[in-house]
Structure 1
Amino acid sequence: MMRQYELVDRVRRYNPHTNEDLLNRAYVFAMKAHGSQKRASGDPYFSHPLEVAAILTEFKVDDATIAAAMLHDTIEDTTVTREDVDKAFGEEIGGLVDGLTKLGKLDFVTRHAQQAENFRKLLLAIADDARVLLVKLADRLHNMRTLQFMPETKRARIAEDTLDIYAPLAGRMGMQSMRNELEDLAFRSLMPDAYELIVSRLEGMKAKNGAIIARIAAELTDQFARRGIKVEVKGRQKQPYSIWRKMERRSIAFEQLSDIYGFRILVDTVADCYAAVGVAHTTWPSVPGRFKDYISTPKQNDYRSIHTTVIGPGSQRVELQIRTHEMHEVAEYGIAAHAIYKDAGTSADAPVVSESRAYRGLRQTIEALASDDSEKFLEHTKLELFHDQVFCFTPKGRLIALPRGATAIDFAYAVHTDVGNSAVGAKINGRIAPLISELHNGDEVLISRAEGGSPPAAWDSVVVTGRARAAIRRATREAAKAQFGGLGRQIVERAFERAGKKFAEAKLKAALPRLARASIDDVFIGVGRGEIFSTDVVRAVFPNFKEERKAGPAVPLNESGWFGLPKAADLVFRVPGESDAAEALPLRGIDFDTPVRFAPKGGAVPGERIVGIRAPEGIVIYPIHSPALVDYNDHPELWLDVRWDLEDAPNLLYSTQIVVTLLNEPGALGVIATTIGEYGANIDAISSSASGADFRRFVIDLQVRDIQHLNAVLSELRGKSVVNKVERASG
């Protein structure tokens, strides 16, 4: 535990005129008040307020704030009263300590109501004196640093409150260093696996690129020095939580992040900032759309800097943040940087404070909302302060809180699951808009509904909330059951008919144990989804049933791309274009004397569930996942039960099509072609198109042995750093 003189020495380093007597008295008072109390870690309780005070010395706060930090838990956790603190230290420090004290055990209906009222009290105290916020954030930071000693049941709640309230509040006040540490500590607690993965990737990247980073920093310094601009170059690494949040928000891989490393260029004057931009842009090519001037237009939290990205040494993208030393101090310490001590002749209790725009805005917001009841106050304050969330309204004024990037679909599911499932359109602020429209703070959203509707499965990739995604998947599963159940019944009835057996539900019900299904409907759904073959259902009811298969002759592919087929109960096709000695390619379940072809693009391959669809020209074979089958949902009479027979199947390659989105850089396509070749697959044809400035989209006609072979190729491609996305084409 820190000694009394060590704390005083820390304060004296930045404030030679510190009131040592005040600090010593606060130290002794708090230590006696907490007495033998222990923390969850087993340390003396007084070690906590002492560490909070030590954290605040990093922000160079005044003596009253340091004293309040040491005393901040005395009223709440000991027998000390507000009057005791006022008597010993005066009303100024007493007011700070009281502002940091939670409400007593009043008759709250819910914990949420108690939390809201405590939060209201805290913010009102912050509005009266910004130093309350500084102590509270330091208090939360030390609690997060020692979170491992808390009971596991409390850790998640404390970490979530940190991410939801305290880290955004630090960011709103411009205290970026405080915000970064709060976010990363909470992230490590809530998602330890993700945290460790990102940290390990960062360490690997640092080991790999350390020399390049040092070279870039040296060349930056040299270029500015040649132009007569005195600069200090500092490397910057993006924080793990910021990396994870960006990956989640943009659905991109770690390798696709271009701003993990950057450089801060610190200069003496504002004029030097703009001169430095000129040097950077005339020395290296700038990246279009990556220039932001927060000096002429500061952020709401007083952040001022110029951001630009150039193609720097070694053709590396280099992000530069150019600012003065004073701007850098404000960027790191926020409102704490506005308390500046004169070198001499000034009492330690009289800092020269210039009210920051960030704090002034916070205070005005809190004062404007002060008349609301506690829970509305909490909601409205979040609306104003925490820009990582979007707050929208129903036409009746109900407030809906959503993550940033949420769509009207997310809004509909937040209102009610039935509203989301039946949503067909939206009006945003009175104007018709697509359901996939991204929402912004203050939007009023009206959802148009069609009763009995079902959400498209594609919505799953559009929404950002877990509630919407879960509801969409649930509804999609139910719709699939309805679709495949009807299809499965027809397939089973036809299978019995082909076998010369009479179908009866009573007999099928008796055979359920042999099919490992709980109900007849489960059997039909299993057959429709390809999980159970129809002939297996027949065998379950009639164990002595034996299926006979007949092989048809090899048939050539005609000009229209169709196989000409003889009539047979079960047909075995030969590969078109092969000689009579070619191995047979088995397809079973076709009993019509009609031509057959495979659907384009997605192309079925052995091992996956396939379906035959009657068409005017013949029968088209689709993989069961093909989106084209949706067009036949209302025409079950066109569906045929077709499947591969992989017994003694020939060792041949079959055509399918995949879509790969690659980074637009030299050698990327070569990596893909090499990977496909190494896995024994073959590229039959390829076409490409632009997909934004940084990516190209390739459509590849691929030949593989079977579905396992295809999945292995896709899995290996997804692991390549140049690949943004890979998927099968939709047939």
Structure 2
Amino acid sequence: MMRQYELVERVQRYNPNCDEALLNKAYVYAMQKHGTQTRASGDPFFSHPLEVAAILTDLRLDDATIAVALLHDTIEDTSATRDEIDRMFGPEIGKLVDGLTKIKRLDLVSKRAKQAENFRKLLLAIADDVRVLLVKLADRLHNMRTLHHMPDHKRGRIAEETMEIYAPLAGRMGMHDLREELEDISFRTLYPEAYSTIVDRLSALEEKNKSLIGDIEHDLVDRLEERGIAALVKGREKRPYSIFRKMQQKSVAFEQLSDIYGFRIIVGTVEACYRVLGVVHTTWPSVPGRFKDYISTPKQNDYRSIHTTVVGPSRQRVELQVRTTAMDRVAEYGIAAHALYKDGEFGGRNIAKHNDDSRAYEWLRRTIELLSQGDTPEEFLENTKLELFHDQVFCFTPKGRLIALPRGATPIDFAYAVHTDIGNTCVGAKINGQIMPLVTQLRNGDEVDIVRSQAQTPPPAWETIAITGKARAAIRRATKESARQQYGALGRHILERAFLRAGHTLTDEALGAALQPLGFAHQSDLLAAVGRGGMRAHEVVAAIYPDYRDDRAVSPPVGSEPGWFDLEAGSGMKFRVPDGDDTGGRPALPIRGLSGDLPVSFAPEGGAVPGDRIVGILTPDVGVTIYPIQSTALQAFEDETDRWLDVRWDMAADRLVRFPAKISVSALNEPGSLATIAGAIADLDANIDNLKMVRHAADFHEILIDLEVWDLKHLTHIMNQLRAKPNVSGVTRVIG
């Protein structure tokens, strides 16, 4: 185990002016707090935070981050408290340690929800200070290096979590070496046979090509020196998981992989990078489609390099990466590199102040802020995974702005990547000047022009089309807000009717007076609750007028009051329907169809069409369901008078909307009967939504047909025309 002075010496190698007293105090405090605790390996527990600190010294991080590494488990696993850490080490370090502390007591229903909430807390802390991320990744790396000491049932879960979250997160932050080590250990744990097979193949290949890497390195250096280019060339084999992933993605065998060897050519300037490219491409033939210029178009994690593949010495395909020394430092350290040097000098003590230098961190912070708005922890975890996993394509706005998206992204993802408002108002897209479907997968270099309409609201189905977490989260929020507005409008209608029945007028002042007694903070919350059915209208009225009694609690006898209708003689079920002037001055909800501003649906069995006498039933979290007055399904709501709503048709003459209806047709069992019926319906300008054979006999069959018609007159005409067909014995309307 590393001793106290050894840790200080490691930091002093890259930062001679480090705060030695801080490091010593953190070392002693953490060692004392962890005391006799041990790890699964039997080693003292304190060896873990010490190794995490050592990993961070390899990244050459500032004193505070090294101290946090030593302290990161103290609040979670010892008697230490946040107040004590703040008092001894300052609030800055206390805040970082708290950001790394898991949430122990959560009222959550599942282990997955607890994991998601812990991850959400971690990422929100990362958004505030990047050092939380660096310590967490180092913590995970050491845990993975010692994973073989864990019980079997825990290894798979930890490895899967690392593969799904932490390795992609390290990659997104540009920390490629750390990501590759995390991936390889996870791969070895999750797929031991595949890992062993690939390692054996690599060993055999290395034995076969013992001198190949060295020969190519020398050849490259010699040719570049001939052109006056000083370069450092480093060759290496691809890692096992990188090979496995390529085999999976391209569906090829190990023997078919042609770029197992990769070489980095490191030079001093950007100009030299392109000179190297010229030398390479004029010396060896390049492989078509394998050239990528990440210098002119950097990745979102700040990675910059030129990639090309050539057929090099011995007819061996060789992947080359050409970059400057500064680019190589970013490729190796990723986001941590932005804290290392500032104008050529070490800037370790100011790492938190250099966060804005990193496009990767800016992306992460912006993404976390967007994903954290209104989602459950599980949704947050799912959307974050979506953001972390995919390779990228680069597209352009009509003004030339570069938009980086995951591979497989659609114009919907593009629109939300530009701005949330653009996504919410998107109605179409032009890709390279041509109007294309919104489900089109974008390709590198596409120019995308989003067609917008301020009247648009993103449909919920878009959530299944979008692949970025940002787009899905925004669509979900917009859908919830749209539903909230619809329920709010419905709630206002219901309350207007209830207040009028009580002899009062609904006003904002009256609503305001009801908020506190009913426990609502805003009028919109109250209106939405009434619209959803979570709050009864008479309860709102009673909160303002305590003497109010709902006169609908007892149904008057048939005929005792105009406008009350007996569903069926002797059923005892009576209710008011708006017919002519028989509404007593009460406002009835206008029903225009399924595309209005109210959450309205029609009876599942038989529907309703304009011309029917109708009644509305309020269903919590569903809205208003419209039933024809003769529907037997209404008997189920006989004792729930508060759910009954006065409704009326409000159809403009020029508004063409079809409505659902169901008919039962008895037809002769002979060839062509079904075709005759379907043809007649089509000729009469109706649409068949569904068709079901419910009874089949030797001489006839009964067919249930779900139709979409204009109104009751249209439906009646269809039924009369079908009855006139010689192969139709009867037609009736089905009303559930």
Task: Report what 1:41 is aligned to.
Answer: 41
Q: 1:358 to 1:342 in 2, by over 3 A?
A: closer
Q: 1:298 to 1:348 in 2, by over 3 A?
A: closer
CA displacement at 1:163 relative to structure 2: 0.2
Task: Report what 1:368 is aligned to.
Answer: 370
- Give the secondary structure class of the aligned counterpart of 1:353: helix
CA displacement at 1:230 relative to structure 2: 0.5
Consecutive unaligned residues of structure 1, counting only runs of 5 or more, are 391-402, 408-426, 433-437, 445-731
Q: 1:295 to 1:347 in 2, by over 3 A?
A: closer
CA displacement at 1:333 relative to structure 2: 1.1
Write the distance in 1 (CA, Å) between the matches of 2:392 and 2:154: 24
Write the distance in 2 (CA, Å) between the matches of 1:278 and 1:105: 61
- Give the secondary structure class of the aligned counterpart of 2:234: strand
Q: Write out per-residue CA displacement over residues 175-216 of structure 1, whole angstroms, 9 at most, x where no aligned residue.
A: 000100000001111111111111111111112112122111
Q: Match for 1:385: what amino acid?
A: L
**Contact (CA 8 Å) 1:405, 1:439: kept in 2 or not?**
no
CA displacement at 1:386 relative to structure 2: 2.4
Write the distance in 2 (CA, Å) between the matches of 1:320 and 1:30: 45
Q: Match for 1:378: what amino acid?
A: L
CA displacement at 1:142 relative to structure 2: 0.5
**Contact (CA 8 Å) 1:15, 1:341: kept in 2 or not?**
no
Q: Write out per-residue CA displacement over residues 514-547 of structure 1, whole angstroms, 9 at most, x where no aligned residue.
A: xxxxxxxxxxxxxxxxxxxxxxxxxxxxxxxxxx
**Contact (CA 8 Å) 2:340, 2:347: kept in 1 or not?**
no
**Contact (CA 8 Å) 1:187, 1:241: kept in 2 or not?**
yes
- Give the secondary structure class of the aligned counterpart of 2:210: helix
Q: Match for 2:20: what amino acid?
A: E
CA displacement at 1:346 relative to structure 2: 7.7
Q: Match for 2:366: what amino acid?
A: Q
**Contact (CA 8 Å) 2:263, 2:319: kept in 1 or not?**
yes
Task: Report what 2:683 is aligned to.
Answer: none
Task: Report what 1:293 is aligned to.
Answer: 293
Task: Report what 1:52 is aligned to.
Answer: 52
CA displacement at 1:106 relative to structure 2: 1.9
CA displacement at 1:382 relative to structure 2: 1.9
Consecutive unaligned residues of structure 2, counting only runs of 5 or more, are 394-405, 411-435, 442-463, 473-736
Q: 1:52 to 1:270 in 2, by over 3 A?
A: same
Residue 455 of structure 2 corresponds to residue 441 of structure 1 = no
Write the distance in 2 (CA, Å) between the matches of 1:204 and 1:345: 45
Write the distance in 1 (CA, Å) between the matches of 2:246 and 2:465: 18
Write the distance in 1 (CA, Å) between the matches of 2:154 and 2:407: 27
TM-score of the pair, normalised by structure 1: 0.53
Give the paired residue count: 409
Stretch deviating more after TM superposition (349-358 or 29-38): 349-358
Q: Match for 1:379: what amino acid?
A: E
Q: 1:347 to 1:126 in 2, by over 3 A?
A: closer
CA displacement at 1:388 relative to structure 2: 6.5
Residue 191 of structure 2 corresponds to residue 191 of structure 1 = yes
TM-score of the pair, normalised by structure 2: 0.53
- Give the secondary structure class of the aligned counterpart of 2:211: helix
Q: 1:317 to 1:388 in 2, by over 3 A?
A: closer
**Contact (CA 8 Å) 1:17, 1:348: kept in 2 or not?**
no
**Contact (CA 8 Å) 1:144, 1:185: kept in 2 or not?**
yes
Q: Write out per-residue CA displacement over residues 599-654 of structure 1, whole angstroms, 9 at most, x where no aligned residue.
A: xxxxxxxxxxxxxxxxxxxxxxxxxxxxxxxxxxxxxxxxxxxxxxxxxxxxxxxx
Write the distance in 1 (CA, Å) between the matches of 2:37 and 2:249: 44
Q: 1:273 to 1:29 in 2, by over 3 A?
A: same
Q: Match for 1:196: what amino acid?
A: S
Q: 1:240 to 1:344 in 2, by over 3 A?
A: closer
CA displacement at 1:431 relative to structure 2: 7.6
Decide which of 390, 394, 406 is 1:387's aligned counterpart. Answer: 390
Q: 1:322 to 1:347 in 2, by over 3 A?
A: closer
CA displacement at 1:342 relative to structure 2: 6.5
CA displacement at 1:405 relative to structure 2: 8.2
Task: Report what 2:164 is aligned to.
Answer: 164
Write the distance in 1 (CA, Å) between the matches of 2:274 and 2:218: 20
Q: Match for 1:357: what amino acid?
A: R
CA displacement at 1:383 relative to structure 2: 2.2
Write the distance in 2 (CA, Å) between the matches of 1:57 and 1:389: 31
- Give the secondary structure class of the aligned counterpart of 1:101: coil
Q: Match for 1:7: what amino acid?
A: L
**Contact (CA 8 Å) 1:68, 1:96: kept in 2 or not?**
yes
Q: 1:347 to 1:272 in 2, by over 3 A?
A: closer
Q: 1:440 to 1:289 in 2, by over 3 A?
A: farther
**Contact (CA 8 Å) 1:238, 1:260: kept in 2 or not?**
yes
Task: Report what 1:174 is aligned to.
Answer: 174
**Contact (CA 8 Å) 1:273, 1:322: kept in 2 or not?**
yes
Write the distance in 1 (CA, Å) between the matches of 2:465 and 2:321: 30
Task: Report what 1:253 is aligned to.
Answer: 253
Q: Match for 2:379: what amino acid?
A: K
Trace 1:60-71 onto structure 2 (pairs within 5 A): 60-71=60-71
Decide which of 344, 357, 360 is 1:358's aligned counterpart. Answer: 360
CA displacement at 1:6 relative to structure 2: 1.0
Write the distance in 1 (CA, Å) between the matches of 2:231 and 2:73: 44
Q: 1:362 to 1:192 in 2, by over 3 A?
A: same
Q: 1:377 to 1:73 in 2, by over 3 A?
A: same
Q: 1:440 to 1:324 in 2, by over 3 A?
A: farther
Write the distance in 2 (CA, Å) between the matches of 1:149 and 1:283: 51
Trace 1:481-492 onto structure 2 (pairs within 5 A): none
Write the distance in 2 (CA, Å) between the matches of 1:163 and 1:346: 33
Q: Match for 1:327: what amino acid?
A: M
Q: Match for 2:38: what amino acid?
A: K
Trace 1:163-562 onto structure 2 (pairs within 5 A): 163-341=163-341, 349-351=349-351, 353=354, 355-372=357-374, 373-387=376-390, 429=438, 441=467
CA displacement at 1:104 relative to structure 2: 1.9
Q: 1:191 to 1:174 in 2, by over 3 A?
A: same
Q: Match for 2:362: what amino acid?
A: R
Write the distance in 1 (CA, Å) between the matches of 2:308 and 2:346: 41
**Contact (CA 8 Å) 2:304, 2:323: kept in 1 or not?**
yes
CA displacement at 1:340 relative to structure 2: 2.1
Write the distance in 1 (CA, Å) between the matches of 2:347 and 2:329: 23
Q: 1:311 to 1:101 in 2, by over 3 A?
A: same
Q: 1:29 to 1:343 in 2, by over 3 A?
A: farther
CA displacement at 1:132 relative to structure 2: 0.2
Write the distance in 2 (CA, Å) between the matches of 1:113 and 1:79: 26
Write the distance in 2 (CA, Å) between the matches of 1:343 and 1:123: 30
Residue 150 of structure 2 corresponds to residue 139 of structure 1 = no
Q: 1:431 to 1:371 in 2, by over 3 A?
A: closer
Q: 1:267 to 1:389 in 2, by over 3 A?
A: closer
**Contact (CA 8 Å) 1:17, 1:347: kept in 2 or not?**
no
CA displacement at 1:439 relative to structure 2: 8.3
Q: Match for 2:361: what amino acid?
A: Y
Q: Match for 2:95: what amino acid?
A: G
Task: Report what 1:76 is aligned to.
Answer: 76
**Contact (CA 8 Å) 1:17, 1:346: kept in 2 or not?**
no
CA RMSD in angstroms, aligned pairs only: 2.8
- Give the secondary structure class of the aligned counterpart of 1:204: helix
Write the distance in 2 (CA, Å) between the matches of 1:327 and 1:276: 15
- Give the secondary structure class of the aligned counterpart of 2:263: strand
Write the distance in 2 (CA, Å) between the matches of 1:322 and 1:99: 38
Write the distance in 2 (CA, Å) between the matches of 1:344 and 1:226: 30
CA displacement at 1:143 relative to structure 2: 0.5
Task: Report what 1:29 is aligned to.
Answer: 29
- Give the secondary structure class of the aligned counterpart of 2:107: coil
Q: 1:159 to 1:254 in 2, by over 3 A?
A: same
Q: 1:341 to 1:316 in 2, by over 3 A?
A: closer
CA displacement at 1:404 relative to structure 2: 8.1
Q: Match for 1:156: what amino acid?
A: G
Q: Match for 1:226: what amino acid?
A: E
